[in-house]
Amino acid sequence: MTEPSTDRPLVQILIASTRPNRAGEPTARWVAEQAAAGGVFDIEVVDLAEIDLPMLAEPGHPSERRYQMPSTRAFSDVIDRAAAYVFVMPEYNHSYNAALKNALDHLFWEWRGKPVVLVSYGGVAAGARAATALEPVLVALQMHVVGFVPIPLIDQLLHLDGDRRVFRPTEPIEHSLTKALDALHRTMQPRTV
């Protein structure tokens, strides 16, 4: 998205949904464009549909970091290089989706202590129940939620542009993402005494 820089932290935009025709892909593309436009982050999109992790099959505990499966080692390398994350996540049956839980459970140290922004989407509830359900998992990984961007009625915000679906946010959603990205940037700045 942006020219890599040693001065800017790498933020990964993680597309949590793996369903065909998912709303997460165009939404994440918009999030990545907005995050890159600020010029303070290097941006990388990580798509769980492309990563294609098996359901947790490592024989050892993730905290041991002795991965035997090539898929886990490759995923570890990807996640480990980021300084922070933006999870673009759906709400399924009042909770977050299995692919996101599986991805989080595959690793421990790679996630540990890093800040995250949650961009949740769904119907009227805007994915808020998914974000709430995810919070104990993030606490266990010692991750810090620094921003939340709820997107209600996602289907009404997806439009065709040629043969490609695009996400067109409302002004409050744009404002919410700007605030969340600003909070993420502040969190990653060294503190002065």
> Span 153-171, mean pLDDT?
94
Q: What is the pTM of this model?
A: 0.93
Q: How far apart are the first and last CA of the chain?
A: 34
Alpha-carbon gap, residue 47 to 29, rounded angstroms: 11
- Asked if 94 contacts 131 with a C-beta cutoff of 8 angstroms, the reply is no
Band of pLDDT at residue 175, cut at 50, 70 and 90: very high
**So what's the pLDDT on residue 5?**
57
Band of pLDDT at residue 13, cut at 50, 70 and 90: very high
For the stretch 61-90, what's the b/e string if a residue is b when 16 or more beta carbons lie within 10 angstroms of its beta carbon?
Answer: ebeeeebeeeebeebbeebeebbbbbbbbb
**So what's the pLDDT on residue 147?**
97
Three-state DSSP state, 120: strand
Give domain limits for the chain.
10-187
pLDDT tens, 143-157?
999 999 999 999 999
pLDDT surpasses 90 at 193: no
Lowest mean pLDDT among 141-145, 170-174, 187-191: 187-191
- CATH class of residue range 10-187: alpha beta
> Span 50-63, mean pLDDT?
90
**So what's the pLDDT on residue 189?**
76
Band of pLDDT at residue 56, cut at 50, 70 and 90: confident
